[in-house]
Every structure is written in C-alpha cells, then in structure tokens.
C-alpha cells in the first residue's frame, strides 16, 4: 500500500524525465543537422556551468547571472506592482458601474492588443530613460488582464450574494469587504497570474531594446553579439524556469483563495 | 438521517404554553393595501401582481401558494422591502416599508449563504450588520445561541460547501432568527430539499416558532400543499399571473401542536387538502386532458 503511494507520487517526475528525454533527443538531432551551429545539450551544459559561476557577482564590468536575473525581476516587480495597484481598483469601478464599464471598456479593448514593443518608444519619450521605458512597457502590458478579469468578477456577483447584503442591511463598506472582494478575489488573482506571465514575457524584449543589466540584454549582447548560441539557450531555459515559478506562485494563491460554492 | 429518528422527531413535542395568543392576534403585523407590482421588460410593462390586499396578524403563519410565476415571491418581496410596489403600500408593524430592515428576517429559496465564510461567520456578519445596539460579546452570544438552536454548533467552522442541503437551510434559518425579527419571510425555504429532510425541517421550524412563544409572524411562499397545511394558520391561494390576484384565502383551523403522522388522518385535514387541490389543480386524471 505504502509502496504504491510513493510510486504514484514519482509518476509526474517520471513523465517529466520522458519529456526532457524527447526534447533532448530532438535537440541533439538539430545540433547534428546544423553541424553544431546550434550547440548540443552537453556543450550547452558546459556553458551553463560557466554562466552560473559566481551568480551574484556585481562588479562594475562583470555581473553574475543572478544579479542580472534580480535586475530583471525588479523591473517586472515595479511595473507589475504599479500596474496592479491601478488595474484592481479600475476593474472594481468598471465592474460595479455599467456606465463606467460602457465608457472605459472600448478603450481597454483598443489598447489591450497593442504590441508591448509599441509602448517602448512612448515610454522613452516620456521618461528619457531606457530602463524606465521598459518598466513603463511592463506596467502598461500588465494592466489589461487584471482590469478585465477584475471587472468581470465584480460584475458577475450573483444576485443571491447581493440579496444577503441588501436583506440584512450591510453598509457599503461591509458589502465591499465581505461580499464584493471575497467573490472577485479568485478572478483578480486569475488576472494577476495572466499579467505576471505577460510581464515576464515582455521584460526580455524590453531589455533587448533598453540595454542595461538584465536577462534580455544578456541574450542579446552576450548571446547573439557575443556569438554564443549556447548562452542564448541557457538564458532561454533560465527565463522559462523563472516564468514557471512565477506562475506557480500565483497558482498557489489562486488555490488558497478559491472556495466551493 | 435515518428513518427511526425521523419518525420520533416528526411529532411536534413542545407543549402549547402560550395563553396570550388571542391578545396578540389583535395586533396587525403586516398590512398590504392594494399592492400592484409592475416591471419594465424589453417586451413592455409586465404586471406581476395586481391590487392585492392582505392583513396578517402578529404570530400568524400564512402561506402563499400558487403555480410557478404567479407572483407569490414578488408579493413577499414587497413585505421584505426587496421589491418596491408600483402602486399601493405595505405596512409592517405599523410603519411603511421602503427597504429591508432588521424587523424582517428573510430565508431565501437557495439558502444564499456566503461560500467564503464559515457557518459561524455567515451568521455573525449578518448579526453584526443588522444589530447596532449590542456589544461584540452579546453578538457572539446571539450567534452561538442560534446555531445551537438548529443543532449546528459543532459544524460552526465548516464552509457552506461542506454541508448538506438540509444543513445549509438550517444555517439560513438560524441566520434569519439571529437578528430576532418580528417577522420571518420564507421564500420556498424547503423547495430544494428531499421529502424526508423537508418533513423534519417543518417540525424544526415550528419548534423554533414555539420556543419563541409563537410571537413571530411567518410568511412562507410555497407550492407544496401538505407543507402549507401543516405549517399555516391560513393559506393564501394565488391566481396564475400575469397580474395575479388572490383567488381565495383558506383557513386551517387544525389544533396545534400538529403531528405529521396523525394530521393526515384528520377529516378536517382531508377536507382542506381537497379544497386546496381543487383550487390549484384542474386535471386529476388522464380523462381530464382534452384529446386533440
């Protein structure tokens, strides 16, 4: 009995290993076909070990990969943080008033599909500073999913829940804290999860444009300009893993605040 | 729920200790005067109920019965203050109803518990909102008393999602009782429950009403004839909507406390049951359905 449980818990790891093996095989094949123009996994592994040496090094001319990662995370954190602080209240206001929804929704729908890169020059013109412009880009792009999901959550509060507040004389504040927020929290968290995903995707493009210290610039400068495809691949893997971790954090939050009806 | 317990508990056992019932009946609890309720719909104005007048005395249990969509919930909404009459007035305890108030406790059709709060919190938040002049400690005592009354104290830390339908409805009833309203408004309170749980809940409701000296006025919307007879002093039969009116008000002069098992053999019960059936249903066998 005990044995079967531990086997079961190992199953996902087993499947993961199979997935890695398949990707590794294809990767090896591509490396072979391109005559190692694309480095094979073992060459990349050597580069990876080089890259992660002294990760937190923070000298004037040499920065460790960890320092670069933190720098990128900081930009994402600032842009996403400010974006969320504006997006959540905005979503709540849109969700609670049909009129405000009618006024703002078309604007949101027009701005939402705009490519993140298009915002970069606008940020540059505003702040005259390229790292600030990439934070601005992240700020704008992490607004929309949170605004849309929050407003959806707030506007979808079931009549049953509203009736409770009405029938038992809840004050506006009590209704907000005890009914509106708890009901829309899972929706808000869904919005935040989508937003952080986009923000993390956008930072790489932003840093390629803005330069400075960060993973995006690392891909461009040391990878492409430095002629090391292995470094590009290493960076891609690091970006992917960090993105996955960010997503998992928000998924855990979603789980924590969801409830059975 | 096992059946042995059910047959034991189905007897309404609390003695009839209230002797001042006659005095209480002298005071009107609810007065509905020529109430019409119309709604604006995309297809024009829809009148749900038209020119309804009804007076309910303090401590009375009155059922509103009728087919689906006959406006009985709408009529009840005018008493609770959730629905504004387009015409006419509703007086509750001699003051005009303009909005919901703590003198009326509502039990909704689908329990309407807040799923993110525990059973305890669901009642506490409502007590906290509706009762202004009590300390936190007194509010907590009220919650405890009412949860114990419906035998849910040991389930106080559960979320509504972890409860059965019957338990959820008990929480909803405890919530309505907790603000100690003089009027209880029950909107098809047992409609979603299975027949066995429903029977138990009827007796439990009457027990709570008894414990409170039968002073609370209860208005209940239902489409269950047996339920209406067992619980009520009067049954208001509504015509089919739109523009529904009162078809007839049937008195239920059966002595209290009533016993689920015995009452159905009472000739008076059978007469009332037949009468209500005739008022509500016009097809009793396949012969009553016209052939095409």
Distance from CA of A247 to the nearest CA of B (A): 24
* Complex confidence, ipTM: 0.79
Mean pLDDT over the full length of chain B: 87
Taking residues B34-46, what's their average pLDDT?
91
pLDDT-derived band of residue B2, with 50, 70 and 90 as boundaries?
very low
Inter-chain contacts counted by CB atoms under 8 A, chains A and B: 59
Task: Check if the beta carbon of residue A180 is closer than 8 Å to that of residue A154.
Answer: yes
pLDDT for B9: 44
Has residue A67 got a pLDDT over 90? Answer: no
CA distance B85 to B267: 40
Distance from CA of A178 to the nearest CA of B (A): 8
Is B114 within 8 Å of A161 when comparing Cβ atoms? Answer: yes
What percentage of chain A reaches a pLDDT higher than 90? 61
pLDDT for B200: 87
pLDDT-derived band of residue A242, with 50, 70 and 90 as boundaries?
very high
Residue B110: both structure tokens together: 């689908």
Q: Which of A157, A161, A164, A165 to mutate to test the interface with B (most CBs of B within 10 A)?
A: A164
pLDDT digits (tens, 9 = 90+) for A69-118: 998 999 999 999 999 999 999 999 999 999 999 999 999 999 999 988 89
- DSSP class of B20: -
pLDDT digits (tens, 9 = 90+) for A26-64: 999 999 999 888 898 988 899 888 888 877 777 767 778
Closest residue of chain A to B180, computed from CA coordinates: A168
CB-CB neighbors (< 8 A) of A166 in chain B: 82, 100
CB-CB neighbors (< 8 A) of B80 in chain A: 167
CB-CB neighbors (< 8 A) of A174 in chain B: 125, 128-129
Q: 């909507």: which residue's tokens?
A: B241
Q: For chain A, state the CA radius of gyration.
A: 23
Residue B145: both structure tokens together: 């008393």
pLDDT digits (tens, 9 = 90+) for A223-236: 788 888 888 899 99
Alpha helices per DSSP H over A52-180: 65-96, 98-111, 116-127, 130-155, 159-167, 172-175
Distance from CA of A185 to the nearest CA of B (A): 11
Is A168 within 8 Å of B126 when comparing Cβ atoms? Answer: yes
């Amino acid at each position: 009995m005990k044995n079967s449980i531990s086997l079961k818990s190992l199953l996902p790891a087993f499947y993961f290993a199979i997935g890695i093996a398949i990707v590794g095989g294809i990767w090896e094949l591509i490396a072979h076909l391109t005559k190692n123009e694309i480095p094979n996994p073992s060459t990349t592994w050597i580069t990876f070990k080089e890259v992660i040496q002294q990760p937190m090094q923070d000298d004037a001319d040499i920065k460790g990969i960890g320092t670069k990662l933190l720098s990128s995370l900081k930009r994402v954190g600032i842009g996403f943080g400010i974006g969320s602080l504006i997006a959540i209240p905005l979503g709540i206001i849109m969700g609670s008033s049909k009129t405000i929804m009618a006024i703002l929704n078309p604007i949101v729908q027009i701005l939402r599909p705009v490519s993140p890169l298009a915002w970069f020059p606008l940020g540059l013109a505003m702040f005259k500073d390229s790292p600030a412009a990439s934070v601005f880009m992240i700020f704008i792009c992490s607004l929309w999913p949170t605004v849309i999901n929050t407003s959806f959550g707030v506007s979808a509060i079931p009549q049953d829940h509203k009736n409770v507040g009405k029938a038992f004389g809840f004050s506006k504040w009590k209704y907000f804290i005890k009914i509106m927020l708890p009901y829309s929290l899972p929706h808000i968290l869904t919005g935040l999860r989508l937003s952080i995903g986009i923000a993390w995707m956008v930072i790489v493009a932003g840093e390629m444009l803005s330069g400075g210290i960060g993973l995006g610039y690392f891909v461009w400068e040391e990878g492409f300009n430095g002629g090391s495809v292995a470094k590009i691949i290493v960076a891609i893997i690091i970006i992917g893993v960090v993105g996955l971790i960010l997503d998992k954090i928000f998924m855990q939050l979603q789980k924590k605040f969801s409830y059975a009806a | 729920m096992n059946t042995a317990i059910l047959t034991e508990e189905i007897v309404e056992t609390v003695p009839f200790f209230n002797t001042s019932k006659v005095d209480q009946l002298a005071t009107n609890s609810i007065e509905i005067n020529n109430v019409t309720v119309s709604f604006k719909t995309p297809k024009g104005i829809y009148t749900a109920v038209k020119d309804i007048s009804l007076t309910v005395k303090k401590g009375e249990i009155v059922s509103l019965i009728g087919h689906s969509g006959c406006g009985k919930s709408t009529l009840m909404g005018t008493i609770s203050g959730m629905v504004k009459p387009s015409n006419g007035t509703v007086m509750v305890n001699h003051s005009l109803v303009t909005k919901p108030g703590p003198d009326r406790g509502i039990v909704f059709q689908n329990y309407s518990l807040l799923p993110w709060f525990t059973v305890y919190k669901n009642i506490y938040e409502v007590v906290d909102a509706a009762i202004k002049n009590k300390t936190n400690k007194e509010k907590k005592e009220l919650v405890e008393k009412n949860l114990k009354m419906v035998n849910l104290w040991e389930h106080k830390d559960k979320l509504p999602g972890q409860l059965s339908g019957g338990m959820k409805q008990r929480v909803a009833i405890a919530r309505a009782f907790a603000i100690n309203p003089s009027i209880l408004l029950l909107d098809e309170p047992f409609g979603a429950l299975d027949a066995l749980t429903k029977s138990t809940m009827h007796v439990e409701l009457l027990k709570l009403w008894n414990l409170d000296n039968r002073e609370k006025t209860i208005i209940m919307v239902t489409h269950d004839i047996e339920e209406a007879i067992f619980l009520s002093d009067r049954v208001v039969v509504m015509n089919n909507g739109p523009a529904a009116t009162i078809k007839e008000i049937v008195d239920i002069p059966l002595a209290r406390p009533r016993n689920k098992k015995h009452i159905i053999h009472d000739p008076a019960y059978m007469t009332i049951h037949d009468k209500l059936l005739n008022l509500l249903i016009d097809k009793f066998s396949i012969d009553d359905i016209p052939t095409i």
